[in-house]
Amino acid sequence: MAFLNELAKREERLAPGHRLCPGCGQPIIVRALLNITDYEIVIAHATGCMEVCSGLFPYTSWRVPWIHSAFENAAATIAGAEAMYKVWKRKGKTDKDIKFVALASDGGTYDIGLQALSGALERWHNFLYVCIDNQAYQNTGVQRSSASPFGSNTTTTPVGKVKKGKEQPRKDIVSIAEGHHIPYVAQGSPHAWRDLMNKMKQGLEVEGPAYLNVIQPCCLGWRFPPDMTIEVARMSAETCVWPLYEVIDGAIKINYKPKKKLPIEEYFKMQGRFSHFLKPENKDMLKEAQRLTDKQWEWLLKREAAGL
């Protein structure tokens, strides 16, 4: 317990007065990042809810240097800042220890920012990329993204008589990041704050690029009451929809294995975007969603057992 009391004594580096929805998990995730480290941090932030709502001109909620990027180029922006810092260090213009972080949501990561992300990982910039994944373009009105899960009801994949939500499964972005063979890749969730903070710390400390994927239950787009954000996140881990794991130099470690893996209905029940899954006529869809989840989970378990 004392751990949180120690953290709470520090100065908050994310000021209140931002205009995110009540109950939004994004500032919870950002506060975890800023509170767990004493490093000076420079952030480049891709367009998204958090970026828009924390930087409504002439206000800013950031007490760290923060660059407002476009949708597609947070990773390129931070790569430029980090490259300049390296030159400054070499020329003796600074002796500060500064860490570089790119923040983006799923739209700015899985879709529009993927090229910049891949480039920055491949060029081996020393930075941490945190994707705050709320699984759709929530800020512009809940349009589907390649992070939206199979069957989810979004405004561009609505549930009607013929179509039943998004037809494709979500993109496995963590494996894409892993494909760059960078030293640290992880997936976390805000309910598991200790685990999340550990991952952020490791991502900052490691030499070279690090990628962290964090689930962000969005009360607006996922349709649940605002006080349920953390409960929904917790259920994503209990059902193994969102496994918590890390890949250090290519070897996977699963950080949380539920004693009794709950059926996916338990997670779907909490959210309006999945309500159609619970209707008897959509039983097959529910089975398919469970199959996709099980397949992913078993693959992770097999990898861990094999030390891969």
Partner 1 sequence: MKIGEKAKWDELLTGGVIEDPGNSVNYKTGSWGIEKPIWNKDACINCMFCWVYCPDSAIKVDKDGNMAGIDCDFCKGCGLCVKECPKPNALAMVLKADIEKKGMDVVFKETFGGK
- Residue selected from 45, 68, 199, 273 as contacting partner 1 according to rule CB under 8 A: 68
How many chain residues bind partner 1 (CB under 8 A)? Answer: 44
For residues 103 and 24, what is the distance between their CA atoms, to the nearest angstrom?
16
Q: How far is the CB of 37 from partner 1 (least distance, A)?
A: 15
> Which residues inside 152-211 make contact with partner 1, applying CB under 8 A?
190, 193
* Binding window for partner 1 (CB under 8 A); candidates: 51-59, 121-129, 145-153, 181-189: 51-59
* Binding window for partner 1 (CB under 8 A); candidates: 52-60, 70-78, 82-90, 206-214: 52-60
For residues 167 and 177, what is the distance between their CA atoms, to the nearest angstrom?
24
Q: Which residue, chain included where needed, has tokens 């013929």?
A: 162
Provide the β-strand partners of residue 102.
44, 129
Q: DSSP H helical segments within the chain, as ranges?
A: 2-8, 26-36, 49-53, 74-90, 106, 114-122, 173-178, 193-205, 229-238, 264-268, 283-306
Nearer to partner 1, 23 or 119 (CB): 23
60 in contact with partner 1 (CB under 8 A)? yes
What's the token pair of residue 164? 């039943």
For residues 149 and 1, what is the distance between their CA atoms, to the nearest angstrom?
35
What's the token pair of residue 191? 């309910």
By CB atoms closer than 10 A (0-12, 13-18, 19+), residue 73 is buried
Q: How far is the CB of 227 from partner 1 (least distance, A)?
A: 3
Q: How far is the CB of 73 from partner 1 (least distance, A)?
A: 15
5 in contact with partner 1 (CB under 8 A)? yes
52 in contact with partner 1 (CB under 8 A)? no
Q: How far is the CB of 244 from partner 1 (least distance, A)?
A: 17
Which positions from 12 to 31 touch partner 1 by CB under 8 A, shown as an x/- string? x-xxxxxxx-xxxxxxx--x
Nearer to partner 1, 193 or 277 (CB): 193
* Sign of the torsion formed by the C-alpha atoms of 29, 35, 39 and 42: positive
What's the token pair of residue 156? 């561009």
* Binding window for partner 1 (CB under 8 A); candidates: 58-66, 139-147, 259-267, 283-291: 58-66
Nearer to partner 1, 5 or 284 (CB): 5
40 in contact with partner 1 (CB under 8 A)? no
Which positions from 211 to 250 touch partner 1 by CB under 8 A, shown as an x/- string? --------------xxxxxxx-------------------
Cα-Cα end-to-end distance for the chain: 34
Cα–Cα distance list, 141 to 40, 135, 144, 155, 244 (Å): 34, 12, 9, 7, 28
Q: Summarize as ranges the residues that interact with partner 1 (CB under 8 A).
A: 1, 4-9, 12, 14-20, 22-28, 31-32, 54, 56-64, 68, 190, 193, 225-231
